[in-house]
Structure 1
Amino acid sequence: MISARNLLRVKPAEQLSSEGSHSALSRTLGLVPLVALSVGATLGTGIFVVLAEAAPAAGPAVVISFVLAGVAALCSALSYAELAGSVPVSGSAYSYTYATLGEIVAWICGWCLLLEYGVSVAAVAVGWGGYLNEFLQGTIGMAIPEALSAPPGEGGVVNIPAALVVLMATAVLMKGVRESAWVTTITTLLKIAVLVFFVAVAFTGFRSGNMAPFAPTGFAGISVGASAVFFSFIGFDAASTAGEEARNPKRDMPRAIVLSLLIVTAIYVLVSFAAVGAVGSDALGDSEASLATALRVVTGQGWPAVILSLGAVIAIASVVLTVLYGQTRILVAMSRDGLMPKMFSKVNHRLVPSRNTLLVGGVVALLASVVPLNQLAEATSIGTLIAFGLVNIGVVILRRTRPELPRGFKTPLMPIVPLLGLGLCLYLITGLDSITWLAFAIWTAVGLAVYFGYGMRKSQLNDTAAPVE
C-alpha cells in the first residue's frame, strides 16, 4: 500500500553530504573550472540559437526579455548557491529537494532535470548544425544537404551534425572529468572572445532606427520573449552537479553559481543589444545562425561571419559537453539513492560513470537528430522552471527546519528573494505553449509510473522507513 509517509520521507542533509564525501568520483575541480563549467553550459545556448526564436516575438525589447529572464534566474541562482553550500552533492536540485520536500517531490524534480538537461543538449546540438553549415558555406562554398542536416518537419530526414556533436561530447566525457574540465575551460574562453568580436563588429553598423518601435507587441511580447530566452539561462546550475568532484564544494560551488550567472547575463544583454541595433529584430529570425547573418549584413563581407561561425561551432559543442556532464551526474545521485538502476552510478577505472554516459549520449543523439529546435527549447524551459521553483521553496524550508546546518553561502533577504524567484518562475511558465504543457504532462505521467513501479520499492530509505507493501 502506498502511504504518505513513504512519499514524503526526507533524506537528511547530513546523510546526503556523507554519501557525497565518500563518492567514487574524483575531487579535482577548483573555482575556475567550476565557473567555466557553468558558463560553458550556459553561454551560447541562447545567444547563438534562441535569439532567433525570441527576437521576432519581442522586437527590440528582446533586450528587456533577457534582463527579465536574468532576474528570474538570479533569484533562483541565489537559492541554488545556498543549497549547494549546504548539501554539496552531485544531484543538484534533485538532492536539494530530497532534503527538504520529500521523496516523491524529489523524484518529480529529478525527472524534470532529466528533461531539462537531455532536451537542452539536443536543442543546442540542432543549433550547432546551423552554424556548421554557415562555416562550411563560407569556407568551401558547400553545405551539408538539408535532408541530412535538418529533422523531419523542417525539410530534412535526419540531423546528422546534431547527433555527431553529441557523440563527440560523449567521447570526451569518457576520458575523465579532469580532461573534460580542461576542454571546457579552453572552449569557454574562446566563446567569450568570439562574442566580444561580434559586439565590436556589430556596433560599427548600429542604427538607432532598428530599435524603434522598441516594444511593438508590448509587455506581452516581452513576456513571451522572456519565456523563450529563459532557456538560455539553464546551465548556471551545472556547477551544482559537480558537488562530488569539487575540491572545496561548500566554498566554491556557491561562488561559481553566482559568478557564472552574472557573467552570462551581462554578455547576453550586450550581444542582443548589438545584434538588434545592427540588423533589426525581424532579420534575426530569418536564420538559425542569426549572429553570423548579422555580421554578414553589417560588413557586406563573408569573413567575419566565418570567424563567428567557427567560434560558434567550437563553443556550442562545449555547451553540449557540459550539460551532458550534468545529466550524467544527476543520474548518478538518483541511482545511488535507489530510485534508478544501480548501473547508472557504477564507475570505470577512469572514475567515469561509463554505462550511464554512453546510454545518455546515445539517447540524446537520437533525440537531436529527429526533433525540431523550437519544440526542444520550450520542453527544456518548462522542466527548468519547475525545478527552479522547487529549489526556491526548498531553501526556505531548509532555513526554517535546519537553521543550525552549516552553510557556505546564505541567500540574502530571506524569504523575499526565493519567493520572488518562485513567483517569476510561475509567471514565465505561463508564457509557454499548450503543446509544451501536453508534452510535459505526458513526461510526468511516465515518470510517476517509473517511480511507483520501480523507484519507491528500491529506495534506500526503505531500510529506515515503513516498508512499501
Structure 2
Amino acid sequence: MTLMRQLWRTKPTDEIVGEAGHGEGGELRRTMGLWQLTLFSVGATLGTGIFVILGQAVPKAGPAVILAFVMAAITALFSALSYAELAGTIPVSGSSYSYAYATLGEIVAWVCGWCLMLEYAVSVAAVAVGWGQYLNAFLQDLFGWQLPAAITHSPGESGGVVNVTAILIVLLATWVLLGGASESAAANVVFVLIKVAVLLFFCVVAFTAFQAQNFTPFAPLGIAGITAAASQVFFSYIGFDAASTAGEEAKNPRRDLPLAIVLSLVIVTVVYVLVATAAVGAMPWTEFNPETTEAGLALIVNLATGATWPGVIVSFGAVIAIASVVLTVMYGQTRILFAMSRDGLIPRVFQKVNPRRQVPVANTLIVASFVSVLAGLIPLGQLAEATSIGTLFAFAIVNVGVIVLRRTRPDLPRDFKTPFFPLTPVLGVIMCVVVMAGLAGVTWVAFLLWLAVGFGCYFLYGYRHSRLRTEMQS
C-alpha cells in the first residue's frame, strides 16, 4: 500500500462502534440520560460569553442584536444537525475525530483531533484565566474587598505573578472529573441550573425597567451591523457538540445524542434572545460600553433596581458559568484523547481506565497538569482566538462527513437524519468557511503553526503506531 493510500485509509464504521466503551486499559460506563447529556452541551456553551458579549455586540447592531443572535444560531444549527446525525450513527467518545476517521481518512482524523486538542486545552485555560477577575468582581460587590492581582492575573499582566485562581478552578474541575462520569454530570446539572436561574433572574429584574422606545429604531446600523454582530456572537454558541464526546457513557446514545445536541442549541438560543431583549429594553443601546463589558449585566440590574444586590447575584452567575465550562470542556478533552489513544495515534496511557471509578485517571491528570500550566503561568493573549479556527475546522469536517457517509454507507441505521440533505451540510461547510475567513491574520498564523507541529507528531508517532495500519499490514 502506498503512503498516500495509508494516510487516507478510513476506519470501518462497524469497527469504531464495536470498540465503543472498550480499550486495552478498560471500559467506560454508560450512566448518562438525555437531560444530563443536554446539560453537558449547555454547560459547555453557556459560559461567560453572554455576560460580556452584549457590551461588544449591541454597539454594532443596536436593538437588532436580537436578530444577530438568531442569525448566529441558524448558522450554528447547520453544523449541529450534522453533528446530531453522526453522533447517533457513530456513538463514540471521539466526536468529530471519530467521524472523520470513518469518512475522510486517518490523516484528516488526526488533523481534526489535533485541532480539538488546541480548541479544548487553550479555550479551557483561557476561560480559567478569567475566573479570578469574575471572582474578584463578586467579592468586591459582596464584601468590598478583592484578592491580590499577583494571584488573579497571568504573569506580566496587571501585576500578575502566578494565576493561582485559574489553577484552583482547574484543580476543582479535575477533582469532580476523577469522581466518575455520573458524578461529573450531576455537578454540571447543578452548575447549569444555577447559571440559567441567574440569567432568568436578570431577565425578570431588567423587564421591570423595560422601555419600548429603546427598540426604536430597531436596526439603526442596517444589515451590515446585524451581520457584524452575528459574526461576533457566533462564538457564544460553540460548545453544543460537547454531548458527542459522551457517546460511550450515554445510556441510549443513538436516540439521546442527536436530541441532546439540538435541544442544547435551542435552550441556549432562547436564553440569549431573552437576555438580549431584557438588556436592550432596560438600557438604551447607545449606552452600552464595549470597554466595560465584564460588568455589563450587573450594571443593568443595578440601574434597574437602584440597588447593588442584584449585581452580586449576576456576578455569582458568571463565577458559576466559568466553573461549568471548565468542567465540561476538560471532560470532552479527555474523552477525545481516549479515542485517539485507542486507535494508537497517541500513547496508550490516555486509554487506561480506573476499574473502580471507570474514568481515564492518568488521562485526566495529564490534561489537568497541562491546562494548569497554561492557565497559571502563560499569558495566552490572542492564542485563545486560535481555538475558534480549530473549532470551525472540526465543524466543517463533520458537515463533509455526513455527505460522505450517506454515499458510502447508506445502509447504516440512522435514528436521526439531517433534514434537507444535502443542502444543510453544504450550507454548514459554507458558513464555517465564511466565519473562518473573517478571523484575524495572526489567528491563521497560530493555527498553521499548530498544524505544522501536529503533522510532525503524527509522522513521528501516530503513523508508526496506528492500529489500523498494523491491522491492514498483518
TM-score, normalising length: structure 1? 0.93
For the 8 Å contact 1:228–1:377, the answer to whether it is kept is: no
Number of residue pairs matched by the alignment: 467
Q: Quick one: which of 457, 461, 470 aligns to 1:454?
A: 461
Q: CA deviation at 1:52?
A: 4.2
1:173-232 deviations in whole A, cap 9, x for unaligned? 011111111111111111111110011112223345655665565544444433332222
Are the counterparts in 2 of residues 162 and 368 from structure 1 also a CA contact under 8 Å? yes
Residue in structure 2 matched with residue 341 of structure 1 by the alignment: 347
Partner of 1:403: 410
Which 10-residue stretch deviates more, 198-207 or 410-419?
198-207
Distance 2:140 2:390 in 1: 35
Change (3 A) 1:28 1:306: same
Q: Corresponding residue for 2:205?
A: 201
Q: What is the distance in 2 between the residues matched to 1:362 and 1:319?
A: 17
**Bigger Cα displacement from structure 2, 435-444 vs 47-56:** 47-56
Counterpart contact for 1:223–1:428, Cα < 8 Å: no
Question: In the aligned structure 2, how far is the partner of 1:52 from the partner of 1:355?
Answer: 41
Give yes or no for contact 1:79–1:411 (8 Å, CA) kept in 2.
Answer: yes
Distance 1:389 1:151, change over 3 A: same
Query: What is the percent sequence identity of the aligned residues?
Result: 61
Measured in 2, the distance between the counterparts of 1:182 and 1:376 equals 32
User: Secondary structure at the residue paired with 2:91?
Assistant: coil
Q: Is the 8 A contact 1:284 1:294 kept in 2?
A: no
Q: Is the 8 A contact 1:389 1:421 kept in 2?
A: yes
Indicate whether 1:463 and 2:436 are aligned. Answer: no
Following superposition of structure 1 onto structure 2, how do residues 290-301 of structure 1 map, counting pairs within 5 Å?
A: 290-301=296-307
Aligned counterparts of 1:441 and 1:427: Cα–Cα separation in 2: 18
Q: Does the C-alpha gap of structure 1 residues 156 and 205 become closer, same or farther in structure 2, counting only changes over 3 Å?
A: farther
TM normalised by structure 2 equals 0.92
Aligned partner letter, 1:139: L
Measure the CA separation in 2 of the matches of 1:309 and 1:185. Answer: 19
Please tell me whether the aligned partners of residues 167 and 376 of structure 2 are also in contact (alpha carbons under 8 angstroms).
yes
State the shift of 1:434 in Å: 1.2
Residues 123 and 376 of structure 1 are in contact (CA less than 8 Å); yes or no, is this contact kept in structure 2? no
Q: Give, in angstroms, the shift of residue 350 of structure 1.
A: 1.2
Partner residue of 1:46? 49
Question: Shift of residue 340 of structure 1?
Answer: 0.8
Relative to structure 1, is the Cα distance of residues 128 and 211 closer, same or farther in structure 2, using a 3 angstrom cutoff? farther
Out of 29, 33, 39, the residue aligned to residue 30 of structure 1 is 33
> Is the CA contact (8 Å cut-off) linking 1:127 and 1:373 kept in structure 2?
no
Please identify, of 15-24 and 134-143, the stretch whose mean Cα deviation from structure 2 is larger.
Answer: 15-24
Structure 2 CA distance for partners of 1:379 and 1:58, relative to 1, 3 Å: farther
Unpaired runs of 5+ residues, structure 2, are none
Stretches of structure 1 that go unaligned for 5 or more consecutive residues are: none
The answer to whether the 8 Å contact 2:55/2:296 transfers is: yes
Could you report, residue by residue, the CA deviation over 1:263-298 in whole angstroms, capped at 9, with x for unpaired residues? 111111221232233333632541324322322233
Aligned runs of 1:53-72 on 2, under 5 Å? Answer: 53-72=56-75
Secondary structure at the aligned position of 1:20 is classed as coil
Please tell me the residue identity of whatever aligns with 2:470.
Answer: D
Matches within 5 A, 1:319-358: 319-348=325-354, 349-358=356-365
Output the CA distance in 2 between the equivalents of 1:464 and 1:330.
22
* Secondary structure of residue in 1 paired with 2:345: coil
Give the alignment's Cα RMSD to 1 decimal. Answer: 2.2
- Tell whether 2:419 aligns with 1:412: yes
> Relative to 1, partners in 2 of residues 1:126 and 1:287: Cα closer, same or farther, differing over 3 Å?
farther
Residue in structure 1 matched with residue 132 of structure 2 by the alignment: 129
Partner Cα distance (1:297, 1:2) in 2: 68
1:328–1:71 distance in 2 versus 1, CA, 3 Å: same
- Distance in 2 separating the partners of 1:225 and 1:441: 27
* Larger CA deviation: 190-199 vs 36-45: 36-45
